Amino acid sequence: MIFGKNYLIWDLDDTLYNKTEEFADILDTTMAKALVEDLKLPMDFETAKQKVTESYKIYRDGGEVFYRDYGVKPRDLFKAYHFRKPVEKIVPYDNLLEKIEKVPAEQYIFTASDRYASEKILKHLGIYEFFKDRYYSVEDFGVYKKNESSEVYRQYCEKIGVDPTDCVFVDDSYSNLEFAKEIGMTTVRIYYRNNSAKDKTYIDYAYKGVLSFLDDVIKP
C-alpha cells in the first residue's frame, strides 16, 4: 500500500520522464509542423509555433488556440501531433523500472498521449513490458484531454475495476489532479522547479521530480 491505498495510477508525459526546456521547445516545433504540414493550416511555420507556445502558456495546451480560433479539430491534431512526437529525444531516468517494480501497489498508467505514441514512450523508458496490459490513453475513452471533467477518471476506474478511493493518482499537471480528487482519489503532484500549486487543496502530496516520490514510497 502507499498512503493506505492499493492502486497507483500514473500520468506518463512529464511525470515518468522530465520534460526539459529543450524538449518542450522541440514539442512546440512538432505541433507547429503537424498543424502546417499535415493539417494544412494556412499559416507560416514561425507564426504557428509562436501561437503553440502562447497557447500552452495560457491554456496548458498548445492546440487550444487552434481549436478555438482556427477550426482545427482536436482529434486531427491529436493524431498528427502524436504520430510526429520525437520520442527518441526523451532522456529516460536511470533505474526507473527497478524502482517502479518495488512500489507496493498495483500500478497503471493513464495518459493524454495516444496509444501509438505512448507505446513508443513506454518502450523508450524501458517500462513497456511492466505496463503492457495496464496503460490506457484518453482516446480509449473517446476524449483527447483529461482535464475537462471527472467523468473520464470514473470511467477509468470502472475499466480497471477499482474504487477511486483506493487509488493514488500521480501527475505533473495539477489541472488533472482536481478531477481525480473530485471522485475521491488521493493526489500526488510532481513538480520540477518550485511547488507552484501549494495553495491547491485538491493536492494531497507534492514531490520534486518523480524519483523523490519513488524513493519515498519504496523506502523500507
Smallest distance, Å, CB 144 to Mg ion? 14
CB-wise, 39 or 135, nearer to Mg ion? Answer: 135
CB-wise, 7 or 10, nearer to Mg ion? Answer: 10
CB-wise, 16 or 157, nearer to Mg ion? Answer: 16
Residue of 34, 7, 52, 42 whose CA lies nearest to 161: 7
Q: Are 169 and 9 in contact (CB under 8 A)?
A: yes
Q: Are 30 and 56 in contact (CB under 8 A)?
A: no
Smallest distance, Å, CB 173 to Mg ion? 5
| Site track for Mg ion across 171-210, x = CB under 5 A | -xx-------------------------------------
Smallest distance, Å, CB 62 to Mg ion? 13
- Using the rule CB under 5 A, is 64 a contact of Mg ion? no
Contacts of 139-142 spanning 24+ positions with Cβ under 8 A: 139/78, 139/114, 139/115, 140/115
CB-wise, 10 or 39, nearer to Mg ion? Answer: 10
Number of residues located near Mg ion, criterion CB under 5 A: 6
Choices 73-81, 98-106, 166-174, 194-202 (CB under 5 A): range interacting with Mg ion: 166-174
CB-wise, 14 or 166, nearer to Mg ion? Answer: 14
Q: How far apart are CA 105 and CA 99, in angstroms?
A: 12
> Cα 131–136–142 angle (5° rounding)?
170
Q: What residue is closest to Mg ion based on CB?
A: 14
CB-wise, 36 or 144, nearer to Mg ion? Answer: 144
CB-wise, 14 or 178, nearer to Mg ion? Answer: 14
| Site track for Mg ion across 7-46, x = CB under 5 A | ----x-xxx-------------------------------
Binding site for Mg ion (CB under 5 A): 11, 13-15, 172-173
